[in-house]
Amino acid sequence: MEARLERSPYDATVAVHPDDPAAIELARTALRAVAERLAAAHARDEALAEHVEPKPVLGIPRRPRMRSLGRAWRLGALLVQADGSVWRTGVSTRVTEPGRPQHHTASVEQRRAWRAAALQGGFPMGETVNHGIEPIPLDESLVDGSGPLVVRDGRAWVRWGSDAPLPLERYLDDLADLLLHPPEGA
Protein backbone atom coordinates (compact mmCIF):
# COMPACT_ATOMS: atom_id res chain seq x y z
CA MET A 1 0.00 0.00 0.00
CA GLU A 2 1.15 3.50 -0.66
CA ALA A 3 1.53 6.07 2.05
CA ARG A 4 -0.57 9.18 1.69
CA LEU A 5 0.60 12.61 2.75
CA GLU A 6 -1.37 14.72 5.18
CA ARG A 7 -0.85 18.24 6.41
CA SER A 8 -0.11 18.64 10.09
CA PRO A 9 -1.28 21.71 12.02
CA TYR A 10 2.23 23.08 11.52
CA ASP A 11 2.13 22.70 7.72
CA ALA A 12 4.87 20.07 7.77
CA THR A 13 4.31 17.07 5.54
CA VAL A 14 3.88 13.81 7.47
CA ALA A 15 3.80 10.40 5.82
CA VAL A 16 0.87 8.35 7.09
CA HIS A 17 0.68 4.69 6.23
CA PRO A 18 -2.86 3.33 5.82
CA ASP A 19 -2.04 0.42 8.17
CA ASP A 20 -0.79 2.62 11.04
CA PRO A 21 -4.10 2.53 13.00
CA ALA A 22 -4.18 -1.27 12.73
CA ALA A 23 -0.55 -1.43 13.87
CA ILE A 24 -1.41 0.59 16.98
CA GLU A 25 -4.24 -1.81 17.80
CA LEU A 26 -1.94 -4.81 17.20
CA ALA A 27 0.62 -3.22 19.57
CA ARG A 28 -2.07 -2.94 22.28
CA THR A 29 -3.02 -6.58 21.72
CA ALA A 30 0.61 -7.78 21.80
CA LEU A 31 1.31 -5.88 25.02
CA ARG A 32 -1.81 -7.30 26.72
CA ALA A 33 -0.88 -10.82 25.54
CA VAL A 34 2.68 -10.64 26.89
CA ALA A 35 1.34 -9.25 30.20
CA GLU A 36 -1.08 -12.19 30.46
CA ARG A 37 1.71 -14.64 29.64
CA LEU A 38 4.04 -13.16 32.28
CA ALA A 39 1.28 -12.99 34.90
CA ALA A 40 0.28 -16.62 34.30
CA ALA A 41 3.92 -17.69 34.75
CA HIS A 42 4.33 -15.54 37.90
CA ALA A 43 7.32 -13.81 36.32
CA ARG A 44 9.35 -11.48 38.51
CA ASP A 45 8.04 -7.95 38.31
CA GLU A 46 9.41 -4.67 39.64
CA ALA A 47 7.98 -1.64 41.38
CA LEU A 48 7.16 1.59 39.53
CA ALA A 49 7.46 4.82 41.47
CA GLU A 50 7.42 8.57 41.29
CA HIS A 51 10.04 10.57 43.20
CA VAL A 52 8.18 13.07 45.40
CA GLU A 53 9.79 16.14 46.96
CA PRO A 54 7.32 17.13 49.70
CA LYS A 55 6.77 20.77 50.55
CA PRO A 56 8.12 21.99 53.88
CA VAL A 57 5.66 22.08 56.78
CA LEU A 58 5.97 25.24 58.87
CA GLY A 59 9.32 25.84 57.22
CA ILE A 60 10.64 22.41 58.21
CA PRO A 61 11.84 20.37 55.23
CA ARG A 62 10.49 16.84 54.86
CA ARG A 63 12.38 13.93 53.41
CA PRO A 64 11.81 12.98 49.76
CA ARG A 65 10.08 9.68 49.14
CA MET A 66 9.03 7.45 46.30
CA ARG A 67 5.31 7.01 45.74
CA SER A 68 4.21 3.69 44.26
CA LEU A 69 2.73 3.70 40.75
CA GLY A 70 2.20 -0.05 40.60
CA ARG A 71 4.24 -2.94 39.26
CA ALA A 72 5.53 -3.92 35.84
CA TRP A 73 7.74 -6.38 34.03
CA ARG A 74 10.98 -4.93 32.66
CA LEU A 75 11.35 -5.89 29.03
CA GLY A 76 14.44 -3.99 27.94
CA ALA A 77 13.41 -0.45 27.08
CA LEU A 78 9.79 -1.05 28.13
CA LEU A 79 8.04 -1.59 31.45
CA VAL A 80 4.80 -3.52 30.83
CA GLN A 81 2.02 -3.51 33.42
CA ALA A 82 -0.54 -6.30 33.94
CA ASP A 83 -3.21 -4.41 31.98
CA GLY A 84 -0.92 -4.03 28.95
CA SER A 85 -0.09 -0.38 29.59
CA VAL A 86 3.53 0.47 28.97
CA TRP A 87 6.14 2.86 30.38
CA ARG A 88 9.47 4.05 29.08
CA THR A 89 12.28 2.93 31.40
CA GLY A 90 14.04 5.50 33.53
CA VAL A 91 16.26 4.89 36.55
CA SER A 92 16.36 1.62 38.44
CA THR A 93 17.19 1.64 42.16
CA ARG A 94 17.75 -1.40 44.37
CA VAL A 95 16.45 -0.72 47.88
CA THR A 96 19.25 -1.12 50.42
CA GLU A 97 20.32 0.81 53.47
CA PRO A 98 21.23 4.22 52.08
CA GLY A 99 23.92 4.93 54.65
CA ARG A 100 24.99 8.43 55.57
CA PRO A 101 26.21 11.11 53.19
CA GLN A 102 29.93 10.63 52.66
CA HIS A 103 30.49 13.55 50.30
CA HIS A 104 31.42 11.27 47.43
CA THR A 105 30.80 12.15 43.82
CA ALA A 106 27.45 13.66 42.94
CA SER A 107 26.29 10.45 41.23
CA VAL A 108 27.08 8.31 44.29
CA GLU A 109 25.24 10.75 46.55
CA GLN A 110 22.27 10.83 44.14
CA ARG A 111 21.97 7.03 44.21
CA ARG A 112 22.16 7.14 48.03
CA ALA A 113 19.37 9.73 48.09
CA TRP A 114 17.21 7.55 45.80
CA ARG A 115 17.69 4.54 48.08
CA ALA A 116 16.69 6.69 51.07
CA ALA A 117 13.60 7.97 49.21
CA ALA A 118 12.59 4.41 48.30
CA LEU A 119 12.85 3.33 51.95
CA GLN A 120 10.92 6.44 53.00
CA GLY A 121 8.22 5.44 50.49
CA GLY A 122 7.82 2.04 52.15
CA PHE A 123 9.46 -0.18 49.54
CA PRO A 124 10.94 -3.34 51.08
CA MET A 125 14.66 -4.06 51.22
CA GLY A 126 15.92 -5.75 48.07
CA GLU A 127 13.09 -4.41 45.88
CA THR A 128 13.93 -2.97 42.48
CA VAL A 129 12.20 0.39 42.06
CA ASN A 130 11.89 2.04 38.64
CA HIS A 131 11.50 5.82 38.74
CA GLY A 132 12.00 8.68 36.33
CA ILE A 133 9.74 6.69 34.02
CA GLU A 134 7.28 7.99 31.43
CA PRO A 135 4.00 6.45 30.30
CA ILE A 136 3.84 5.61 26.61
CA PRO A 137 0.40 6.39 25.21
CA LEU A 138 -0.85 3.63 22.92
CA ASP A 139 -2.40 5.98 20.41
CA GLU A 140 -1.61 7.86 17.20
CA SER A 141 1.32 9.63 18.89
CA LEU A 142 3.27 6.40 18.26
CA VAL A 143 3.29 7.11 14.51
CA ASP A 144 6.81 8.28 13.67
CA GLY A 145 7.35 9.00 17.38
CA SER A 146 10.71 9.52 19.03
CA GLY A 147 10.36 7.07 21.94
CA PRO A 148 11.32 3.43 22.24
CA LEU A 149 7.94 2.24 20.89
CA VAL A 150 7.03 3.59 17.46
CA VAL A 151 4.74 2.82 14.57
CA ARG A 152 6.23 3.20 11.11
CA ASP A 153 5.11 1.92 7.74
CA GLY A 154 2.16 0.06 9.24
CA ARG A 155 4.18 -1.87 11.88
CA ALA A 156 5.03 -1.42 15.55
CA TRP A 157 8.76 -1.30 16.33
CA VAL A 158 10.91 -1.07 19.46
CA ARG A 159 14.17 0.83 19.60
CA TRP A 160 16.53 -0.17 22.37
CA GLY A 161 19.83 1.63 22.67
CA SER A 162 21.66 2.10 19.41
CA ASP A 163 20.49 -1.18 17.90
CA ALA A 164 18.27 -1.26 14.84
CA PRO A 165 14.53 -1.28 15.65
CA LEU A 166 12.93 -4.69 16.08
CA PRO A 167 9.33 -5.68 15.34
CA LEU A 168 7.36 -5.35 18.60
CA GLU A 169 6.03 -8.92 18.61
CA ARG A 170 9.50 -10.45 18.19
CA TYR A 171 10.97 -8.09 20.78
CA LEU A 172 8.29 -8.97 23.36
CA ASP A 173 8.62 -12.71 22.71
CA ASP A 174 12.42 -12.67 23.01
CA LEU A 175 12.52 -10.61 26.20
CA ALA A 176 9.59 -12.44 27.82
CA ASP A 177 11.38 -15.75 27.15
CA LEU A 178 14.53 -14.31 28.70
CA LEU A 179 12.59 -13.16 31.78
CA LEU A 180 10.86 -16.52 32.12
CA HIS A 181 13.99 -18.60 31.39
CA PRO A 182 17.04 -16.57 32.44
CA PRO A 183 20.46 -17.88 31.47
CA GLU A 184 22.20 -19.94 34.13
CA GLY A 185 23.90 -17.69 36.66
CA ALA A 186 21.84 -14.61 35.81
Task: Report angle CA 20, 24, 27 to the nearest 5 degrees.
Answer: 135
Find how far residue 4's CA is from the centre of its chain: 32
pLDDT of 6 > 60? The answer is: no
Query: How do beta strands 128-131 and 46-52 pair?
Result: parallel
160 within some domain: yes
Whole-number Å distance between alpha carbons of 154 and 138? 14
5, burial (CB in 10 Å: exposed 0-12, middle 13-18, buried 19+): exposed
In this prediction, residue 16 carries a pLDDT of: 67
In this prediction, residue 3 carries a pLDDT of: 43
Q: Residue 102 carries which DSSP code?
A: -
47 within some domain: yes
How many domains does the chain divide into?
1
Whole-number Å distance between alpha carbons of 52 and 66? 6
107 within some domain: yes
Backbone angles phi, psi at 109, to 5 degrees: -65, -35
67 within some domain: yes
User: Which pLDDT tens digit goes with each residue over 147-156?
Assistant: 999 999 899 9
89 within some domain: yes
Per-residue pLDDT averaged across 116-136, rounded?
95
* Mean of per-residue pLDDT scores for the chain: 88
In this prediction, residue 2 carries a pLDDT of: 42
Per-residue pLDDT averaged across 33-53, rounded?
96
User: Which pLDDT tens digit goes with each residue over 50-68?
Assistant: 999 888 888 888 889 999 9
Whole-number Å distance between alpha carbons of 22 and 156? 10
186 within some domain: no
Whole-number Å distance between alpha carbons of 117 and 50? 10
Higher pLDDT, 5 or 114: 114
Per-residue pLDDT averaged across 70-99, rounded?
94
185 within some domain: no
135 within some domain: yes
Per the structure, the complete domain to which residue 68 belongs is given by 4-180
Q: Residue 140 carries which DSSP code?
A: G
How much of the chain exceeds pLDDT 90, in percent?
A: 65
pTM summary value: 0.83
88 closest CA partner among 29, 151, 147: 147
